[in-house]
Structure 1
Amino acid sequence: MENLRFLVVDHLRWQCISREPTFLPHKLRWLCWHHYPFSSLPVEHMRKLVGLEMFDGMIKHLWKGPKVLPNMKFIDLGYMGHLTSFPDVSAAPNIERLILSDCHNLVEVHPSLGFHRRLVYLDMSRCTKLKCLPFTIGMESLETLIFSGCFSLERFPEVTPSMVKLSELYLNNCIRVEELPSSIRYLSGLRVLNLIG
């Protein structure tokens, strides 16, 4: 199916699939596979992929090392209970929306995420084992940043003066964060700061 552009797999019982896919169509633009039953995903040939929705699946590692995904704009890995880390996105420079909410075993994210230039929306709410973020973040397009309910997060990173577009920052119920860095003053566009709890 070399011309397949859009693939949706949902409510498919995992027993129906005998083994992990090793190849997906290289012209695929959008992949939506909820409850994906395997630990990894073959993205090597999916350079045209724009959107990836893998809600509530079994993936442990999305990919290893930088993967060249120049068209990727949207990633939703919500409720990925087995995901422990988020990979290098330095070769996927056009991601605009990234959702990692309720990834309860996510412990760390690759430092490349901290300086992603096109990212507008980042939701890592309720990643209850997330302990550390990149030491410094400088996401110049970022408008919304959500860490609500990240109970294990111990430190909010330093921010660079380039983050003037950030307008909403949610740190509610981040009970181990004891202080915010003085560089938070650079967030001159901030309209909402939620520190409840």
Structure 2
Amino acid sequence: ALTELNLRFCDGLTSLPESIIGQLPALESLQLRWWQDLTDLPDSLGQLTALTALEIAACARVTRLPDSLGQLTQLQVLDLSDCSALTALPESVCQLTVLLSLGMHGCVNLTHLPDALGDLGALTDLNLSHCRQLAHLPESLGQLTALQALRLAECAALTALPASAWQLSSLTALNLAGCKALTALPELLGELTALRQLWLNECVRVARLPDSLGQLASLTLLDATRCCALTRLPETLGRLAALTTLNLRLCTALTALPESLGQLASLSLRELCVDCCMSPRPVPEPLAQQLRGLASLRVGNCRAL
């Protein structure tokens, strides 16, 4: 019996024929990619109860998914990347209790997520990058206790994360790059004690980072490139004993680096970038003397040097 079906560039077809679905009881993987004319999927999709992976990607005219999606109780991977006309997910998607990965990268017209999103208790990877109309996330997000990666890059309408988001105790990667409406990170950031990678590049309205940043003992990468409103870093930065990469390129309002950074240079820090820093003292002399452990130091285009 057929277990994998990959259909690409099926121009002229507006829907997946129901006659096909009825003949695929053992299908485990279905890929529909780059269908220019696909507008919807039949309710009979829910009959594919053996599916573990469903990819409906770059289907730019799909506006909705059938409620029967919730009947795919074995589904582990759902990829809806670049379905640019999709505005919402059916509430039934929250019944997919073994789902591990939900990808919605490039769903530029997605406006909201189901309130019961937190019912996806097995979810480890949630990719909402380039969902430019998504202004808020459901409070139930904090119930995703298995979540390891939350990708929100270029979510330009997102002003804040729900308070529950800072309870994601398994989170190791948080990408907020290009969230241009984001104004601040709360002290609750320090609750993400498993976090290893934090991308804040082009968060152009964030003026400061919370003191609780120093509680992220597992953090290895902090990228704040082009955070042009950022004026200071907390002294607690020196507590990030696992940090290996710190990127502050084009942080043009940054006035100085905390002297506690020298503690990292002698411990773990290997790459420091402060290119195009407008500060009169981008790297204070006492700190510069402690940077002997660095493998890469970039301090180009600092006008005051």
Judge same fold: TM > 0.5, yes or no.
yes
Partner amino acid for 1:32?
Answer: E
Given the alignment of the two structures, is residue 104 of structure 1 paired with residue 128 of structure 2, yes or no? Answer: no
TM-score between the two structures when normalised by the length of structure 2: 0.59
Partner in structure 2 of residue 7 of structure 1: 30
Q: Which one of the candidate residues 103, 123, 146 is aligned to 1:76?
A: 103
What whole-Å deviation, never above 9, does each CA across 1:105-150 have from its counterpart, x for those lacking one?
Answer: 1111112223421111111111111122112411111111111111
Partner in structure 1 of residue 88 of structure 2: 61
Partner in structure 1 of residue 198 of structure 2: 169
Identify which of structures 1 and 2 has the higher relative contact order when contacts are C-alpha pairs closer than 8 Å and 6+ apart: 1
SS in 1 for 2:81: coil
Partner in structure 2 of residue 154 of structure 1: 183
Alignment CA distance shift 1:83-1:18 (3 Å): closer
Given the alignment of the two structures, is residue 38 of structure 1 paired with residue 62 of structure 2, yes or no? Answer: yes
Could you tell me how far apart the structure 2 residues matched to 1:113 and 1:186 are? 22
Out of 102-111 and 154-163, give the one that drifted further: 154-163
- Number of aligned positions between the proteins: 195
Deviation at 1:91, TM superposition (A): 1.4
**Which structure has the highest helix share of the two?**
2
Q: Which one of the candidate residues 73, 77, 80 is aligned to 1:51?
A: 77
Deviation at 1:55, TM superposition (A): 1.2
Q: What 5-or-longer segments of structure 2 have no aligned partner? A: 1-23, 227-305
Could you tell me how far apart the structure 1 residues matched to 2:211 and 2:78 are? 36
Alignment CA distance shift 1:85-1:151 (3 Å): same
1:79, 1:100 within 8 Å by CA — same for their partners in 2? yes
What whole-Å deviation, never above 9, does each CA across 1:39-60 have from its counterpart, x for those lacking one?
Answer: 2223221111100111111211
Given the alignment of the two structures, is residue 188 of structure 1 paired with residue 211 of structure 2, yes or no? Answer: no
**Identity %, equivalent residues:** 26
Deviation at 1:158, TM superposition (A): 4.2
1:134, 1:157 within 8 Å by CA — same for their partners in 2? no
**Which structure has the highest strand share of the two?**
1
TM-score between the two structures when normalised by the length of structure 1: 0.88
Deviation at 1:23, TM superposition (A): 3.3
Could you tell me how far apart the structure 1 residues matched to 2:40 and 2:82 are? 18
1:164, 1:187 within 8 Å by CA — same for their partners in 2? yes
Q: What 5-or-longer segments of structure 1 have no aligned partner? A: none
Could you tell me how far apart the structure 2 residues matched to 1:149 and 1:73 are? 25
